[in-house]
Amino acid sequence: MRLRIAVQSKGRLFEETMELLNEAGIKLNNIKRTLLIPAKDFPVEILFLRDDDIPQAVATGVADIGVVGENEYVEKNEDAEVIKRLGFSKCRLSLAIPKDETYDGVKWFEGKKIATSYPHILKTFLKKENVKSDIHIISGSVEIAPGIGLSDAIFDIVSSGGTLVSNRLKEVEVVMQSEALLIANKELTAEKKEILNDLIFRIEAVQTAVNKKYVLLNAPEDKIDEIIDILPGMRSPTVTPLATKGWCSVQSVVEDKRFWEVISNLKALGAEGIIVLPIEKMIL
């Protein structure tokens, strides 16, 4: 028995999903031009689909679970369960208007034509804001619609904002934030739930290690209490005596964002022989 995972067939979400699965020990053979591929040493198989087909595939049982952008999950409104927020492929869904227009609030969109590939999300937002607009559903390059006279504004995915700038548009309202989600069919068997739990365990071990470093150092015994205060481990640092009297070896984990601050403080307390190692996996 294998757990079938629906994955986007191309693009940034595909690349980041495959990287996560690889780090979690899910190894695949050549994936080019193949729709369904079994993993080598773990009971899963990967089904490659268009991103907007994944919510329905999971809801109907064509796939057991799927990795999909939150934007597509909310837009399709299918009956699938969100299992885990994955924290990558982040973007936002925003309203944008021509650069030279003066924007004075959401009421600007009253009576305007808005081009989008996300009509459900947009309708929900406009209803909440009590704004009536003409929604023009379009696939492909939504951002060109105002420039060719097809619409007055657009509602689309924004990452860096560079595409808006190149089309002389400006972002005026962020409607929702989006990231990759792990979703599941609500009728998974007990056997498939067990495989899913094992997969989640592996994913969390990979994600826990992100942006963390393992630090080993030598420190004077009379400074250990101060060092422990600035160098916490997952519970507490590991401290062991050295052969040299009055010195200890200390091991701990440090987040990247605090790394240089912590190292500077350690040196000020007399720490020596500081070794920093990357962490591949971390089991809590």
Domain boundaries, the chain: 3-89+179-208, 91-178, 211-278
Question: Residue 2 and residue 192: Cα distance in Å, rounded?
Answer: 7
Q: Residue 149: left (phi > 0), alpha (psi -120 to 50), or beta?
A: left
Residue 100 pLDDT level (bands cut at 50, 70, 90)? very high
Predicted pLDDT of residue 29 = 74
3-89+179-208 maps to which CATH number?
Answer: 3.40.190.10
Please determine, for residue 177, whether its predicted confidence score (pLDDT) is greater than 90. yes
- pTM (2 d.p.): 0.83
Contact 122, 111 (CB under 8 A): no
Q: Do domains 3-89+179-208 and 211-278 have the same CATH topology?
A: no
CATH of 211-278, one of 3.30.70.120, 3.40.50.300, 3.40.718.10, 3.40.50.970: 3.30.70.120
Q: How far is CA 176 from CA 6, 71, 91, 159, in A?
A: 24, 8, 9, 12
Contact 228, 236 (CB under 8 A): yes
Token pair for residue 142? 């939504």
Residue 159 pLDDT level (bands cut at 50, 70, 90)? confident
Cα Dmax for the chain: 80
Question: Residue 141 and residue 24: Cα distance in Å, rounded?
Answer: 35
pLDDT tens digits, 33-51? 678 999 988 999 999 999 9
Q: Say which CATH topology domain 91-178 has.
A: D-Maltodextrin-Binding Protein; domain 2 (3.40.190)
Of residues 12, 57, 59, the one with CA closest to residue 36: 57
What's the whole-number average pLDDT of the chain? 92
pLDDT tens digits, 63-79? 999 999 999 999 999 99
List beta partners, residue 272. Answer: 218
